[in-house]
Structure 1
Amino acid sequence: MAGMMIFGPPIDARALFPVERAALLELLAGLEPADWARATVCPGWAVRDVVAHVLNDYLRRISGSRDRHSGAIFANDETLPGYIARTNEEFVRAASQCSPRVMTDLLAHLGPQMDQVWAGMDLEAPAELNVSWADPEATSPAWLDIARDYTEYWVHQQQVRDAVGRPGADGPDLLVPVVDTFLRALPNALRGEPRPEGTEVRFEVTGPAGGVWAAAVTGGRWIPVPEAGAPAATVRMDQDTLWRLATRGITVEQARARARLEGDPGLTEAATTLLAIVWV
């Protein structure tokens, strides 16, 4: 099936990277030394570790996409989640030798190079890094790969903001593409729930960055569709709950408690397992 049908309409997040990064650099410049040691929602990681992880993502993406560097190799019998967890931890440990200022300076220096990498990509070409949480079997388009990276940077910034008590960078201009990208995981969340052809599920996200997304059984599989007219199930959830659920900043049970679920319980339960990260 065409990528448009499997993954929905394209998202072009490229212009948002400098905006998100500027907000991050402003945030980091204002932190006190004690803030860098504050715990985050990421298990075992303080603020400085999350920032080191973002730096690792910059280095890894520039090295791979621009320089065609293969990077770390898989260990014997290592799964993708295991590989990601191991290599992330290795870099975070190594970065403990870097000062907050050095890490911040590196992010500022590497950011424009990242922007050039994105600018040179054909949005409709096959992704360099497949977005497995959207579809573990199909080849993702480049635009989804790029949007996925944008959501990761945005989420890590919010995790730092939560840890240090500094709200912000969550206006509609930056959050709309995050919500839109995360809802591309809806068909995959529903794939274990076979239903008759044409069955639809509606997912409403409330708040300034919200909207309506839907998936329907088409050709024997769940795919994104325009807003459902007569859905078999509806999930209503606010924008803050949605992004935290998709990244497991909160549990599925916590998200369901904050949501309104209507219709087929099997479909509402499946829809609220929506996951937009690689999970161990």
Structure 2
Amino acid sequence: MMIFGPAVDVRPLFPRERRALLDLLGALSPADWARPTVCPGWDVHDVVGHVLNDYMRRLSGSRDGHGGAVFADDETLPAYLARTNETFVQAARQLSPRLMIELLEHLGPRLDALWAARDLHAPADLNVSWAADDIGSPAWLDIGREYTEFWVHQQQVRDAVSVPGADEPDLMAPVLDVFARALPHALRMHDRPEGSTVHLTVRGPAGGRWGAIRAEGRWRMAEPQGEPAAHVSIDQDAFWRLATRGITVEQARRRATAGGDPELTAAVTALLAVIA
């Protein structure tokens, strides 16, 4: 599991992120709830409905052990998620904003209790396939992925209604840190000599530096030391939007600087930290 680097414990941040979201939602006008978001075909109401679905899905599966997933014939995981997410969002359109806020307030602490009871180094309930699709993930990465999911959807709502917030370094830095753990997976198609390294710098108050090394036949997270085979520097806003495809790879590359092996820099600037 050291392929993913040191653990990130985001559990204390869930109540703060949720409080910021609920305060935002409570101040929205009816017109705000209908504003379009970056999610194709979804307005603010739909994104909030999707977050509610995430809350209920994780409580049902990880807390209660309920296995309700039913895949259609030959359906891939991305296709399954797209279908079921859309189905729930459509159904949630009958829910009032007030009720959705109340449900998030009610269910949120139950999710917090679920995460608090987990051993961070135990196997994840749900594998984080964008970090590694051939080995299991640790629980801390699964929980971290959920934090990034909630934080990103809050930012999508904030973008839609032009109300920035919840972007303080202590709330945002773990999102960037978890997304950076997709680095080895982004490089997986590129074989290089043992010991080859790649460095990623994310600029900004919440940013940091990460590295990957080729060791034992695969890329692994590693401290960014020495002279890398390739290096990429990108601003923090562009990085999280790239990782979630809120901007295109081409847009992200225009906001990045890179050097060294062009195949490796191209792979880093196409990093993806969502299932798609």
Q: Secondary structure at the match of 1:215?
A: strand
2:123–2:136: 8 Å Cα contact kept in structure 1?
yes
Question: What letter matches 2:93 in structure 1?
Answer: S
Structure 1 counterpart of 2:207: 210
Structure 1 counterpart of 2:91: 94
Structure 1 counterpart of 2:33: 36
Structure 2 counterpart of 1:164: 161
Measure the CA separation in 2 of the matches of 1:174 and 1:23.
Answer: 10
Measure the CA separation in 2 of the matches of 1:39 and 1:61.
Answer: 26
**1:74 CA displacement:** 0.9
**1:232 CA displacement:** 1.0
What's the TM-score, normalizing by structure 2?
Answer: 0.99
Structure 1 counterpart of 2:177: 180
- Aligned residues: CA RMSD: 0.6
State percent identity of aligned pairs. Answer: 66
Residue pairs, 1:187-198, within 5 angstroms: 187-198=184-195
Cα deviations by residue, 1:212-267 (Å, 9 ceiling, x for unpaired)? 10001011111000113111111000000000000000000100011001111111
2:198–2:224: 8 Å Cα contact kept in structure 1?
no
1:64–1:70: 8 Å Cα contact kept in structure 2?
yes
Structure 2 counterpart of 1:256: 253
2:197–2:212: 8 Å Cα contact kept in structure 1?
yes
Structure 1 counterpart of 2:16: 19
Measure the CA separation in 2 of the matches of 1:63 and 1:199.
Answer: 43
Tell me if 1:142 matches 2:151: no
Question: Size of the alignment, in residue pairs?
Answer: 276
**1:195 CA displacement:** 0.7
**1:75 CA displacement:** 1.2
Tell me if 1:63 matches 2:60: yes
Cα deviations by residue, 1:61-97 (Å, 9 ceiling, x for unpaired)? 0011111111231111110001100110110011011
**1:34 CA displacement:** 0.1
Question: What letter matches 2:67 in structure 1?
Answer: S
1:233–1:267: 8 Å Cα contact kept in structure 2?
yes
Measure the CA separation in 1 of the matches of 2:258 and 2:203.
Answer: 14
Measure the CA separation in 2 of the matches of 1:184 and 1:106.
Answer: 32
Structure 2 counterpart of 1:103: 100
Structure 1 counterpart of 2:72: 75
Q: Secondary structure at the match of 1:20?
A: helix
1:72–1:87: 8 Å Cα contact kept in structure 2?
no
Question: What letter matches 1:25 in structure 2?
Answer: L
Measure the CA separation in 2 of the matches of 1:101 and 1:41.
Answer: 23
Measure the CA separation in 2 of the matches of 1:219 and 1:181.
Answer: 23
Q: Secondary structure at the match of 1:97?
A: coil
Structure 1 counterpart of 2:7: 10
Measure the CA separation in 1 of the matches of 2:155 and 2:21.
Answer: 9
Measure the CA separation in 1 of the matches of 2:200 and 2:225.
Answer: 9
1:201–1:228: 8 Å Cα contact kept in structure 2?
no
1:200–1:231: 8 Å Cα contact kept in structure 2?
yes
Question: What letter matches 1:41 in structure 2?
Answer: V
Question: What letter matches 1:23 in structure 2?
Answer: A
Tell me if 1:240 matches 2:204: no
Question: What letter matches 1:181 in structure 2?
Answer: V
Measure the CA separation in 2 of the matches of 1:268 and 1:227.
Answer: 15
Question: What letter matches 2:49 in structure 1?
Answer: A
Structure 2 counterpart of 1:278: 275
Structure 2 counterpart of 1:153: 150
Measure the CA separation in 1 of the matches of 2:226 and 2:35.
Answer: 46
Measure the CA separation in 2 of the matches of 1:71 and 1:14.
Answer: 26
Question: What letter matches 1:156 in structure 2?
Answer: H
Structure 2 counterpart of 1:115: 112
Q: Secondary structure at the match of 1:201?
A: strand
Which blocks of at least 5 consecutive residues in structure 1 are unaligned? Answer: none
